[in-house]
Amino acid sequence: MRTSILFAAVLLWATVLLADSAFQPLNVKTGLWQVTESSTASGVPPIPPDMQAKMDQMTPEQRARIEAMIKSRFGGTPQTTTYQKCVTTEDLNNNAFVNKPDEKCTWTVLSSTGSDMEVQGTECAAGRNQGMETDVHIKIHAVDSENVKASVQGTATGNGHTLNINHTLTGKWISASCPAGTN
């Protein structure tokens, strides 16, 4: 009996050690990166109950303007944004190129090698605070130590609405140091 327990314990530790050794952070430089993000969204974003109540009180003209604005933003037209991101050694172990730290998603690294990382994000604060369920899936590829490409697919559902997002990102390393105030 003791031999079986000891064998099971050794087998468990070996499994944990092997699984841990398969994880490798992205092999890219730390420091300041410039990221260009192109995003499209389709569907209707989940409308929080308090916002829905306000919309219900609008005149038909006001409501039509708001709905047209939402449709133009989430109608599939690509939106491009460029930002700078300070990437730390710690960032290379989870989701190094996320631009919105205030979203505070629960990030889970599904796999990671020196050149590829796959990350799942759930329970993002923005969605959670508005009664939405969110699911984000990110694939990052390090072309080399100074260039990355990524794709992001996500959904936000709630209050009878679903919003689908697709992003592509390209990142270029700029310098080893980050200016104050860069996240």
Q: Are the CB atoms for 158 and 131 separated by under 8 Å?
A: yes
Residue 163 lies in a domain: yes
Q: Which two tokens stand for residue 111?
A: 């796999």
Full residue range of the structural domain in which residue 63 is found: 28-175
Residue 20 lies in a domain: no
Sheet holding 106-112, edge to edge: 79-87, 31-43, 161-175, 147-158, 133-144, 116-122, 106-112
Name every residue whose Cβ is closer than 8 Å to that of residue 131 and which is 6 or more positions away in sequence.
Answer: 46, 48, 49, 158, 159
CA angle in degrees (0–180, nearest 5) for 72-76-82: 90
Residue 183 lies in a domain: no
| Helix boundaries (H) for the chain | 2-22, 49-56, 60-73, 125-129
Residue 180 lies in a domain: no
> In degrees rounded to 5, what are phi and psi of residue 57?
-90, -5
pTM, full prediction: 0.74
Q: Which two tokens stand for residue 54?
A: 């306000």
Residue 1 lies in a domain: no
**How much is the CA Rg of the chain, to the nearest whole Å?**
21
Residue 15 lies in a domain: no
Q: How many domains does the chain have?
A: 1
* pLDDT tens across the length of the chain (183 residues): 433 333 333 333 333 333 445 689 999 999 999 999 998 888 877 777 777 788 888 898 988 888 777 777 676 678 899 999 999 988 888 777 766 655 677 888 999 999 999 999 887 766 555 667 888 999 999 999 999 999 999 988 887 888 888 999 999 999 999 988 777
Cα(140)–Cα(33) distance, rounded to whole angstroms? Answer: 14
37 alpha-carbon distance from chain centroid: 12
Residue 7 lies in a domain: no
Give 63-79 as a DSSP string.
HHHHHHHHHHHSSS--E
How far apart are the two ends of the chain, measured CA to CA in Å?
Answer: 54
